[in-house]
Chains A and B, each alone.
Chain A
Amino acid sequence: MSLSDLKHSLRKYEFPACAKEALNRIEQLLVGRAAPSNKQLDVAMDIISEFVFCEADRRGGRDRRGGGLTPLQELQLIDIICDYLSACTNEITKNTVFLSLFGGMESQRRLKILSILASMAVSASSTPVLLAVGVWLQQMGCSSAQSLQLVENVIRDHFYLNTSNQVALKSLANSAPQFVSNFITAVTELYMRDAQGTTKLPPKNLLEIITSWVYSNPTLCMSAQLNPAALPSGSIPMAAVTPLAGLIHWCALAPLYIDDDSEMVEIPEVPMKKIKLEGETERSIVKTVTHKPLSESELYMRLHLGVLHSLRAGRRTHGPPTAVNAQHLAALAPVVQTYAHSVLKRGGKLLTDDKLQDCLDRIGQAVQVALANGCVYGNINNLLAALDTLPENRLLRIIIKTHQQII
């Protein structure tokens, strides 16, 4: 069927129906035994733009404002996409269509729709959609701007606006572990980074959920790597990055940032916010759902334990280690050193500073478990050298000595 015929047939339908029909046509165009030709790809993209997202004006069509969709229409579209994805039985087909819908890097509008879609899927615990989003995250790269934007949206919707859905969220780890794993990886990119001078800490309810996920499910962190995405033929699978390195960061740095006394008073604020369009709100209304609410430092302890378990589970019986990048871990060193300097400046002693020692202990534990389980890839020597520059710590000293001898 030619492109014009295809369009002609689709133009018979009004908006929601035409999108539904278009999805089927796209599936037909893209999924076949062989990889689709360039022309087919172009046609598919054309259809997506005109009939799914209504970006292009229809010829002789009705007047659409700026060729875009109203929020209500967006919702209809999302409903249709959800239906389609849920109904799709073949993982490859599903991922193919999904990535062609949202794979483009350029369109903010589509990214917004995707964000809503992802958020809705989380609300509805819709596994097929979440898995597709997980694949998308992985393919886009968990630390890419798009991924971060999506993750921010999801966090805002589910940890700020709607805070009553913790139970459903916890169950996601079981139903869509790949999504959760990639989600956590992206989340670790968002918080505890000294990017703008002030350190953004995760809201407590997010921390609780992540702790609960990681703690109760040691294999979760590796799940994205263990279950490779079903990708369309001819595409290049992106390496999944485990959240472990990020979480080690969190756990190690937590003692430095969390003040036990100021627990529950206020969670440090997010500095910048935009209205409506992007960004998130500032203060979370901390509603703890757990029966016996844990303080933040306790949560980090538990998370640390969970991470250590996960590291043990990350041991691979064959092939090179993939769980933790040595460079990632080495990046901890400058942060800790900065803190150590500030301690010295205050006139404190490094050996007696509890927070610093706690932090160093945790680094040591994590490095030891990771190295012992063979989870670290990259330049381990550099890592050890970096650790060597850290302030004096007995455990760390032993670990460095041991491993330097081994190497």
Chain B
Amino acid sequence: MNPQSKSTALSADLNNFIYGVSRRNAQNAPELTKTGINLLKNFPAARDAVLEYFAMVFHDAVNVSITQTDYETDLGANGSLESVSMIGPELCSLGQAWAPFIAPWCINLIMDIATKKSNVPNTTLQNAEPVRILLDITTQTLTLLNSEERAKCIDMMLGCWACSWAVGWVGRAEPALVAPRALQLGADAARAVLAHLANHPPATHHVRVAVLDLFHEAIKEDSKPEKKREVIPYLLNLASKSDIVLKALTQDIEQTLTDDVIDRLCNVCASQRSSPQWAEVTPPALVSLLIRADVRCLLLLLRHALTNLFCRQLLEYLLQKLEFECLFPDKSIPLLTSAAEEINVVRDKLLDGNQLEKYSLARILILVSYNLPSEFVSTISYLLQYSRDDTTLALLVRIISGTITMHVPNDSPDISMDTERYQNFVKTGVEYALRDAMLSDNEIKSTLFEDSVPKDQKTYLHHFCMNIIKMLRWENSNRVSHLRTRPIGRAVEANLYRIGGALQEYTSLLRVRRESTMAALDEMPTCHALAEVLDKVDMSGTKAPPPSVEVILKVVQATVKYFFRCLHLKDTLEKLRGIATSCRLLRKLCLHSKLARALALRELLETAMFREDAAFGSRPVMTNAPASGKDWRNEDLLIHLNQKHGPITQLTQSHTSVFHAGIIGKGVRKQSDMDVNDIPPILTTNNELLMGALMSCMVSDGNSGVVEGATSLSLLLVELVSPDVMYNGLPWPDEDFTKQVSIERELYMRGALESCAVARAALRRAGAARPALCLASALLRATAATLLHRLRAYLDRHTQSAEMAKERAALTELLSTMTLGQLLPHPLNHMLELAPELTANEIVQVLRDCLWNYTRDHVPSPALFACDSTGLHWRDPSTCKPPATYTDTLRLIIQKRIAKLGHMYPIMFLNLEKEN
């Protein structure tokens, strides 16, 4: 290359540039810029001049772009804008060696522009294209500098009051440098810079570090105290102006203000408080800071309030201020928002804090709950679950009443609506607590691993119930004015369905009990507690709307289940107490609801007869249910045994196989098996308890409840015992009819009844509650029919056999029941006393003539029983004297055996004669 030609070319560039600049205008800007860039590359010495020209271009471009209203002017029309967009990438691409020249130039230019355009809004300026380019260049070149130079550049910028936004922007590249330097500025300037800086999330960390460094420096011991006198007031002042600084100071405040630090801080305060810089550090100023801080600061304050008088005063100021601020509904208070975000921490502290903390936090929680209903709900739920003492529960009461009554003017038109709304929240709170307690019970607890069972053996649900019970007790005592409106009671009533469901679940034997969960613990205490909760609430519908059908059904089912669980308890006292509770519950439920009664009776009876029969000494009713496990051999089968008897003429409707060999499926009847043949006794504890429960279902004002209940009891018994729906009516057919048609069925019913103590006991109760027994006439008939047939079959052959004894016992029971139910009028009722003395033959006669025929002709019907003025149903003996046809057999037998039975004659017949 010929150097001469090159040199002229370069000179030409230089000349063009110099000439062009002296006649600078908007049109030649791009051309000149290009030349300038060339010069920069080839004549580095000309850089000062070229950069000065570029600065002019930038100034022009800024002017253009901020006056430009819309995008009406296209980019091409303005040379300076075009040039600016050319300069940007060129300067950036010059490389590291150039950075020390470009960076100061950029910063000076920014400061120039900012100062000149200080009347233009920051955002407009920041959004101007040239400024953006300039900031980009600055940021990029700053990263190419070494730290010392960078610091120098940033110091340059910080010195300029107008360009805090630019510092903030550029500082994003180097927040660690900018943040501490910004803090050396006055509060307002620092605020502006930090605000801009913090728009860039990664920078916030550095801001925080810088602020904390400053703080720690200020409280460092044995350094020049007079220098640091203003640091803490300055920081507080800055924090009052800048959210970012406040956040930086208060974030993780426990780590910042450790106990050591606090001690030192106290010393610093004590020694410096008198200085004028501290004049602005007043409690109101601190309170307004705290209101904007987060809840951890509050917790810290609480911690120190116990020992520090000033903290205590500050706390009180703060709480009062907060309560006052909450009067303005649309104001959001950061402290409360933060408390809502960290509500778990607050609540935990409420549980395990000291008294001051508890009471203060309760006040905070009231405010939070007032603002955020969802937190109200969750707070209620939380405290109901985890409260373990009265103090905490009292706080809960306070929170509930405080939130409900907070600042609602008494004359507000929607006060009732508002109360209703809050009542709804309480209800939801209780619901959540119940749900969560049940969930917690099923969570695996590490404390329960390896058999390290904690002292506290209560399930979460149990604790919840105890809390509810306590609150209900307070409520019912009527001495707590906050609970006048029965918020908890109403909430529990609204949640009856769920509580019932819980009881049902916990009483269920089939419940899944996962290892190492609370659910694996004994569930009975929890069940007792649940039952007590149910016991404590009002279900009558007098104080609140009556519970719905589903609720009733659920609770009744649950109660019945609970009853049977209690029945199995070993500890008598616990058992009786539990059963008493469940009876109380049943009474309460059935008192107002026929539905409840019907369901309760059915559930009780059904369960007792079919599922819990063992508890009552009954044998399974389903006698022909296949016995499991037994491996039948061929010769044991009844059919083979019967065939061994030789050819049996099978007559129509003959039941010989049954009569003489055994029961199909059970093999040959074993005579010696006392166990099988014993009639289970009626008078057992469990049976009596069950009867008590049944009777609790029938309670009402007066007698009607018992009659109605007993009636349904009778119907139920028929339904449960009778294998089919035919012939279950009241009338007794001809005796022959049973022989011909229904004997199988009668036998079955008799067996079922006999083996089931519960059913027999229930039948007696029905007998006592006249005229309910009439409706069980099918059962009586079955017994009577089978007695007739069997006794006729035995006649006198087996007088002393076990079967005979059984038959006699059955007879006695039948007679006593019927007598009790007034189905056998005088003198037929004395058959009971006669029976033991009669022979089988005589019994058959008596049964047929006196009992069967009488009942056949006088159908046992409720119509026979008149209702007297006291509401008692009874059959007037004077009006229902049985005709002689039915009594003659008896009379003849007595006369025939007058020696033995003579004492009965006058009782039975003399009065009769007299009347005749």
B103 partner residues in chain A, CB cutoff 8 A = 275
In the bound assembly, the distance between CA atoms of A124 and B12 in angstroms comes to 10
The residue from A79, A123, A125, A282 contacting B146, defined by CB atoms under 8 A apart = A282
In the bound assembly, the distance between CA atoms of A281 and B3 in angstroms comes to 28
Q: How far is the CB of B55 from chain A (nearest CB, A)?
A: 10
B10 partner residues in chain A, CB cutoff 8 A = 123-124
Q: Is the CB of B7 within 8 A of A125?
A: yes
Q: Is the CB of A273 within 8 A of B7?
A: no
Q: Is the CB of A283 within 8 A of B96?
A: yes
Q: How far is the CB of A152 from chain B (nearest CB, A)?
A: 13
- Given contacts A70-B52, A74-B48, A276-B104, whether A123 and B21 have CB atoms under 8 Å apart is no
Q: Is the CB of B46 within 8 A of A120?
A: yes
Task: Tell me if B354 counts as interface (CB < 8 A to partner A).
Answer: no
Q: Is the CB of A175 within 8 A of B49?
A: no
Contact with A along B1-21 (1 / 0, CB 8 A): 101101100110011011001
The residue from B41, B46, B52, B53 contacting A116, defined by CB atoms under 8 A apart = B46
Task: Tell me if B75 counts as interface (CB < 8 A to partner A).
Answer: no
In the bound assembly, the distance between CA atoms of A47 and B46 in angstroms comes to 25
Task: Tell me if B152 counts as interface (CB < 8 A to partner A).
Answer: yes
Task: Tell me if B51 counts as interface (CB < 8 A to partner A).
Answer: yes
- Given contacts A72-B52, A123-B45, A275-B149, whether A161 and B97 have CB atoms under 8 Å apart is yes
- A80's nearest neighbour on chain B, judged by CB, is B18
Q: Is the CB of A281 within 8 A of B100?
A: yes
In the bound assembly, the distance between CA atoms of A79 and B7 in angstroms comes to 13
Q: Is the CB of B97 within 8 A of A124?
A: no
A118 partner residues in chain B, CB cutoff 8 A = 45
- B8's nearest neighbour on chain A, judged by CB, is A124
Q: Is the CB of A120 within 8 A of B152?
A: no
Contact with A along B431-442 (1 / 0, CB 8 A): 000000000000
Q: How far is the CB of B46 from chain A (nearest CB, A)?
A: 6
Task: Tell me if A164 counts as interface (CB < 8 A to partner B).
Answer: yes
Q: How far is the CB of A84 from chain B (nearest CB, A)?
A: 14
B41 partner residues in chain A, CB cutoff 8 A = 162, 164
Task: Tell me if B44 counts as interface (CB < 8 A to partner A).
Answer: yes
In the bound assembly, the distance between CA atoms of A181 and B432 in angstroms comes to 94
Q: Is the CB of A157 within 8 A of B21?
A: no
The residue from B3, B22, B100, B152 contacting A175, defined by CB atoms under 8 A apart = B3
Q: Is the CB of A124 within 8 A of B7?
A: yes
Residues from 256 to 275 in A contacting B, C-beta threshold 8 Å: 273, 275
Q: Is the CB of A119 within 8 A of B45?
A: yes
A99 partner residues in chain B, CB cutoff 8 A = none
- Given contacts A162-B44, A276-B100, whether A124 and B11 have CB atoms under 8 Å apart is yes
- A284's nearest neighbour on chain B, judged by CB, is B97
- Given contacts A72-B49, A125-B7, A160-B97, whether A165 and B149 have CB atoms under 8 Å apart is no
In the bound assembly, the distance between CA atoms of A164 and B1 in angstroms comes to 14
In the bound assembly, the distance between CA atoms of A273 and B17 in angstroms comes to 30
Q: SS class of chain A's interface: helix, strand, loop or mixed?
A: helix
B21 partner residues in chain A, CB cutoff 8 A = 72
A123 partner residues in chain B, CB cutoff 8 A = 10, 42-45
The residue from B3, B97, B101, B105 contacting A125, defined by CB atoms under 8 A apart = B3
In the bound assembly, the distance between CA atoms of A171 and B100 in angstroms comes to 30
Residues from 104 to 154 in A contacting B, C-beta threshold 8 Å: 115-120, 123-126, 153
In the bound assembly, the distance between CA atoms of A163 and B404 in angstroms comes to 80
Contact with B along A82-120 (1 / 0, CB 8 A): 100000000000000000000000000000000111111
B43 partner residues in chain A, CB cutoff 8 A = 119-120, 123-124, 162
- A175's nearest neighbour on chain B, judged by CB, is B3
Task: Tell me if A390 counts as interface (CB < 8 A to partner B).
Answer: no
Q: How far is the CB of A133 from chain B (nearest CB, A)?
A: 13
In the bound assembly, the distance between CA atoms of A124 and B42 in angstroms comes to 9
Q: Using a Cβ–Cβ cut-off of 8 Å, how many residues does chain B contribute to the interface with A?
A: 39
Q: How far is the CB of B424 from chain A (nearest CB, A)?
A: 70
Task: Tell me if A1 counts as interface (CB < 8 A to partner B).
Answer: no
A282 partner residues in chain B, CB cutoff 8 A = 146
Task: Tell me if A168 counts as interface (CB < 8 A to partner B).
Answer: yes
- A167's nearest neighbour on chain B, judged by CB, is B1
- A70's nearest neighbour on chain B, judged by CB, is B52
Task: Tell me if A158 counts as interface (CB < 8 A to partner B).
Answer: yes
- Given contacts A75-B46, A157-B44, whether A168 and B97 have CB atoms under 8 Å apart is no
In the bound assembly, the distance between CA atoms of A167 and B17 in angstroms comes to 25
- A86's nearest neighbour on chain B, judged by CB, is B11
Q: Is the CB of B100 within 8 A of A75?
A: no
Task: Tell me if A285 counts as interface (CB < 8 A to partner B).
Answer: yes
Q: Is the CB of B45 within 8 A of A157?
A: yes
Task: Tell me if A76 counts as interface (CB < 8 A to partner B).
Answer: yes
A165 partner residues in chain B, CB cutoff 8 A = 42
Q: How far is the CB of A285 from chain B (nearest CB, A)?
A: 6
Q: Is the CB of B1 within 8 A of A273?
A: no
Task: Tell me if B95 counts as interface (CB < 8 A to partner A).
Answer: yes
In the bound assembly, the distance between CA atoms of A283 and B11 in angstroms comes to 30
Q: Is the CB of B45 within 8 A of A285?
A: no
Q: How far is the CB of A93 from chain B (nearest CB, A)?
A: 22
- Given contacts A75-B18, A120-B43, whether A125 and B104 have CB atoms under 8 Å apart is no
Contact with B along A156-182 (1 / 0, CB 8 A): 111011101101100100010000000
Q: Is the CB of A285 within 8 A of B104?
A: no
Q: Is the CB of A168 within 8 A of B48?
A: no
- Given contacts A79-B14, A125-B6, A126-B7, whether A281 and B45 have CB atoms under 8 Å apart is no
- Given contacts A167-B1, A175-B3, A275-B104, whether A119 and B44 have CB atoms under 8 Å apart is yes
Contact with B along A1-30 (1 / 0, CB 8 A): 000000000000000100000000000000
Task: Tell me if A60 counts as interface (CB < 8 A to partner B).
Answer: no
Q: Is the CB of A161 within 8 A of B98?
A: yes
The residue from B4, B45, B153 contacting A120, defined by CB atoms under 8 A apart = B45
A116 partner residues in chain B, CB cutoff 8 A = 45-46, 48
Contact with A along B573-608 (1 / 0, CB 8 A): 000000000000000000000000000000000000
In the bound assembly, the distance between CA atoms of A158 and B104 in angstroms comes to 21
In the bound assembly, the distance between CA atoms of A72 and B32 in angstroms comes to 13
In the bound assembly, the distance between CA atoms of A366 and B851 in angstroms comes to 155
Q: Is the CB of A76 within 8 A of B18?
A: yes
In the bound assembly, the distance between CA atoms of A384 and B100 in angstroms comes to 47
A76 partner residues in chain B, CB cutoff 8 A = 18, 22
- Given contacts A157-B44, A162-B44, A168-B3, whether A74 and B100 have CB atoms under 8 Å apart is no
A164 partner residues in chain B, CB cutoff 8 A = 41
- B3's nearest neighbour on chain A, judged by CB, is A125
- Given contacts A74-B49, A124-B10, whether A79 and B100 have CB atoms under 8 Å apart is no
Q: How far is the CB of A132 from chain B (nearest CB, A)?
A: 16
Q: How far is the CB of A56 from chain B (nearest CB, A)?
A: 22
Of B47, B53, B97, B149, most buried by chain A (CB within 10 Å of CB) is B97
In the bound assembly, the distance between CA atoms of A171 and B3 in angstroms comes to 8
Task: Tell me if A197 counts as interface (CB < 8 A to partner B).
Answer: no
In the bound assembly, the distance between CA atoms of A161 and B47 in angstroms comes to 10
In the bound assembly, the distance between CA atoms of A286 and B10 in angstroms comes to 24
Contact with B along A178-218 (1 / 0, CB 8 A): 00000000000000000000000000000000000000000
The residue from B44, B51, B96, B146 contacting A71, defined by CB atoms under 8 A apart = B51
In the bound assembly, the distance between CA atoms of A165 and B11 in angstroms comes to 15
In the bound assembly, the distance between CA atoms of A124 and B4 in angstroms comes to 9
Q: How far is the CB of B826 from chain A (nearest CB, A)?
A: 130
A sample of 21 inter-chain contacts (CB < 8 A) reads A75-B17, A79-B14, A79-B18, A116-B46, A116-B48, A117-B45, A119-B45, A123-B44, A124-B10, A125-B6, A153-B45, A157-B45, A161-B44, A161-B97, A162-B44, A168-B1, A275-B100, A275-B103, A275-B153, A281-B97, A281-B99
Q: Which 8 A-B pairs have the closest CB atoms?
A: A119-B45, A71-B48, A161-B44, A75-B49, A157-B44, A71-B49, A116-B45, A124-B7
Apart from A72-B53, A283-B97, list 11 A-B contacts with CB within 8 A: A71-B51, A116-B48, A119-B45, A120-B14, A120-B46, A124-B7, A124-B10, A124-B14, A161-B44, A167-B1, A276-B105
Q: What residues of chain A have their CB less than 8 Å away from a CB belonging to chain B?
A: 16, 70-72, 74-76, 79, 82, 115-120, 123-126, 153, 156-158, 160-162, 164-165, 167-168, 171, 175, 273, 275-276, 281-285
